[in-house]
Structure 1
């Protein structure tokens, strides 16, 4: 057994009167320091899954091809209602007096500056996705608008980019904020382990250290891993497309598998260096490179349209938000199931990863500051990004250039090439395309290494200083899972795996909201009568 490193706080009320100690259920084995039984059960389940998909590739492809539409069509209402509730819950917390509570106590100060904090939020949460969908979504939703709107109408042009922002804006970050805030509060203010089970302590009490806690953490590991695998698959598709576009290298499954392996090795180096030496440094590089790319497109693209579009798209996003958030009587099943329902499931499955990552870098912020920053700052970045790339592509279409349009119409669906086709109509095409591909690679590495740190923390019972060999194990497993799913059905299989884990985990997150509110309310009452 390992020596306990942290004891649970008992000084506020009977709610946290427990003798549980971080590390007391951990086991030392072959240099590992893992939580029993979360680590072995999670590891065995993932390894068996990977081997099963690799052995029964055709059957897996058929299964995942059935699974995604089955879930999105049967549980669309549940995902949309849940996402709406998460956003409302966050806004209510920011308004209520509990918003004054500081993560870590009244004397706590932030560990990271605002620029460093925002950089890590952005790169870990949405980096790969924005590179892949930044051109694709505004164009696709303009040509085939949601809500049954007529293509080519003024409303279609208004909702095109707004619908893209909708998927990457407030709802997405509300899901992350719920998990991040719960983890940060119960860890920094109550000295509970930095793991998902701790967020349920007000409801379950000491039972979080038993079966229910094990189930919660195992589900968090599976959801995080498959959510990450989807992102890694998207990144591999786009990088392979870039290599084919620039150098004529085959973009088949072999190339994508080699890419995932190579970038997993690069992520291992970052994992070895830890949070500050690896993840933080790569996140800052990501932000600088992403800003350079966006500024370049702003300058050489339709600059005036982009700047005016930032304002108009913000207004359009807020205007269309209620209709896009509605789940009753939808006439746009393709958009509703193929895009929105999938996105909400993806964000839910990613929430342990992004939420824990946010929690680890958010000590010293108040609840209100945390919520407003996590909701607003990334959403603004998404608005500016989608407007810059989407407006440029739409302006090219208006001018007669059909490079992007031809990729998503007439049965020629090649979304991974959309950003490169947009670059094709800009100056310095080869240079900027190569730059964009490198940026995607670095985003890829950042997601893989930060995800490994998060999964390792969960499977180590909340310890943030577990042996490096464990991080290496999970980083490797993430890459293998992504390869297996690509072989067993491509991007559709990755998305199906994400949705299947996101569905049950969304239930956990709704219960987590109740538990978090109880914890914050008791903390506020304790402060008032102290």
Structure 2
């Protein structure tokens, strides 16, 4: 490329001018409570959440009915949108890996990673899947195999084919698709913050499309939607975690596992999460994530060995084969005859991942400076998927074997999703020890999710700051626990439906946001690639 250096410099200045912005997001001030208010995002988000909590507690039956009706309506009306969007996100991420923009480095070409690879993996994995993998790894495949949750693609339960379909469908819900959603959001936030110098908040990702308008009302709406989606996505996970921890404690110590116990667990864990929040990422989230990695590895190795290595390896083959065989049919929204499975599970999971994406995306963005786009997307997309294959093969495979062979409670299907993991462990050696370890793992996942989530919501509501007042982070950590408790309370016996409804309701508007984000991110990456090529031409 033989161009005049002066011309190259002029081209560079013109390109850089496209992102010459003062990043003014609105008035910010420290109030007497020590909150760095980003008006109106903080106030509006907090107000909407408080109104939801109050109305739900005052009118619990009406709230539960409304939540359930909303979940069913969204599932029936927008099922095609959720499924199609999930497919688009996977294809988009694969394109990022192979296109030339994959060589762009987050933070600039000279940026260095802040965390080791192991710490990086453990933090993004704990934040992205933790409680869900513990809750569903046994319940979901066994539920499909025994037809308690409906069967994927209408395949008859209890057969060898349905075993493969159950593991394949479970991987479909926990593999490439959710991590593609996280990768899109995480990369967009990291790129515009660390390469373009914008605030670390969701609105920044739309600058190539909206320009300076992102600092006004449109940007406020985007960030408010992100806060609400994150709050209810987190509340779903925290509610599931409280249910499973209560079931495990009741399983071990024969105590009541009802709402009071679940609320007590939420209160206790929220207090610990508050202490973790005060210590920040390095002293809190990083430490707990590394502890979780050890706990999870120990429990995984035990289940692999105790369930039989040969059986585990066979289950690996069944899981991979089922995933490859059924990923395309399960991704097709047209002509489905498995309505119960499709609407009750796939649409719920997709909405859950989408509602979680601001939280997980922003968190992994904060810990991913120094990685190239190709490294980032490959790691976020493929590494957790491979780990999930191993996890589901061990836990789900053991549960399916017990169900198929008529061993224990799983032989009759899933009577209580939160108990399934412990019912599987009951028929392996050292039940008390492994069940206690599983409870500890759920609780630590609970803490890291609450801790990470409060840091993320705090950043969004303070206009992208990563050093907002500590009192603000404590406020959001507390609010997450309150919302989770309220969803459990208004749901009553059908608490799982209420938790699902919260995720689905906030996931719907945010799926549109994410689709537009893909377009904006691509524009921004090609802009950065043009700058890099000019610099290379100058040298």
Classify the TM-score, shorter chain: over 0.9
- Contact kept, 8 Å, 2:163 with 2:400, in 1: the verdict is no
Query: Quick one: which of 322, 325, 337 aligns to 1:316?
Result: 322
Asked if residue 389 in structure 1 is aligned to residue 391 in structure 2, the reply is no
Q: Could you tell me how far 1:12 is from its partner in structure 2?
A: 4.2
SS of the residue corresponding to residue 126 of structure 1 reads helix
Query: 1:303 — aligned with what?
Result: 309
Asked if residue 99 in structure 1 is aligned to residue 102 in structure 2, the reply is yes
- Contact kept, 8 Å, 1:407 with 1:414, in 2: the verdict is no
Query: 1:129 — aligned with what?
Result: 132
CA distance in 2, matches of 1:264, 1:336: 34
Query: 2:190 — aligned with what?
Result: 184
CA distance in 2, matches of 1:403, 1:484: 30
CA distance in 1, matches of 2:470, 2:255: 35
Q: Could you tell me how far 1:11 is from its partner in structure 2?
A: 8.0
Query: 1:436 — aligned with what?
Result: 438
Query: Quick one: which of 293, 299, 303 aligns to 1:293?
Result: 299
CA distance in 2, matches of 1:157, 1:406: 15
Query: Quick one: which of 363, 366, 391 aligns to 2:369?
Result: 363
Q: Could you tell me how far 1:428 is from its partner in structure 2?
A: 1.1
CA distance in 2, matches of 1:65, 1:275: 36
CA distance in 1, matches of 2:111, 2:401: 49
- Contact kept, 8 Å, 2:158 with 2:404, in 1: the verdict is no
CA distance in 2, matches of 1:397, 1:17: 61
After TM superposition, the structure 1 = structure 2 runs for residues 486-525 of structure 1, keeping only pairs within 5 Å, are 486-489=488-491, 490-525=495-530
CA distance in 1, matches of 2:375, 2:158: 41
Q: Please provide the CA RMSD for this pair.
A: 1.4
Query: 2:83 — aligned with what?
Result: 80
- Contact kept, 8 Å, 1:10 with 1:16, in 2: the verdict is no
Query: Quick one: which of 46, 53, 56 aligns to 2:56?
Result: 53
Query: 2:4 — aligned with what?
Result: none
Asked if residue 251 in structure 1 is aligned to residue 257 in structure 2, the reply is yes
- 1:48-82 Cα offsets, whole Å, 9 max, x none, are 11111011111111111212111111111110000
Query: 1:160 — aligned with what?
Result: 166
CA distance in 2, matches of 1:407, 1:476: 36
Query: 2:478 — aligned with what?
Result: 476
Q: Could you tell me how far 1:434 is from its partner in structure 2?
A: 1.1
CA distance in 2, matches of 1:191, 1:21: 13
- 1:91-150 Cα offsets, whole Å, 9 max, x none, are 111111111100011101111111101100111110100110011111122223310112
Unaligned residue ranges in structure 2 (runs of 5+): 1-11
CA distance in 2, matches of 1:206, 1:405: 60
CA distance in 2, matches of 1:58, 1:157: 38
Query: Quick one: which of 96, 105, 112 aligns to 1:109?
Result: 112
Query: 1:465 — aligned with what?
Result: 467
- 1:202-248 Cα offsets, whole Å, 9 max, x none, are 00100000000000000000000000000000001001111211112
Instruction: Compute the TM-score of the two structures, normalised by the length of structure 1.
Output: 0.95
CA distance in 2, matches of 1:28, 1:444: 30
SS of the residue corresponding to residue 200 of structure 2 reads coil
- Contact kept, 8 Å, 1:220 with 1:352, in 2: the verdict is yes
SS of the residue corresponding to residue 426 of structure 1 reads coil
CA distance in 1, matches of 2:211, 2:411: 55
Query: 1:218 — aligned with what?
Result: 224
- Contact kept, 8 Å, 1:184 with 1:363, in 2: the verdict is yes
SS of the residue corresponding to residue 257 of structure 2 reads coil
- Does 311-320 or 87-96 show the bigger shift? 311-320
CA distance in 1, matches of 2:339, 2:387: 28
Q: Go from structure 1 to structure 2 and tell me whether the alpha carbon gap of 1:453 and 1:334 turns closer, same or farther (over 3 Å shift).
A: same
Query: Quick one: which of 152, 155, 158 aligns to 1:149?
Result: 155
CA distance in 2, matches of 1:163, 1:371: 23
- Does 263-272 or 137-146 show the bigger shift? 137-146
- Does 72-81 or 306-315 show the bigger shift? 306-315
SS of the residue corresponding to residue 461 of structure 1 reads coil
Query: 1:5 — aligned with what?
Result: none
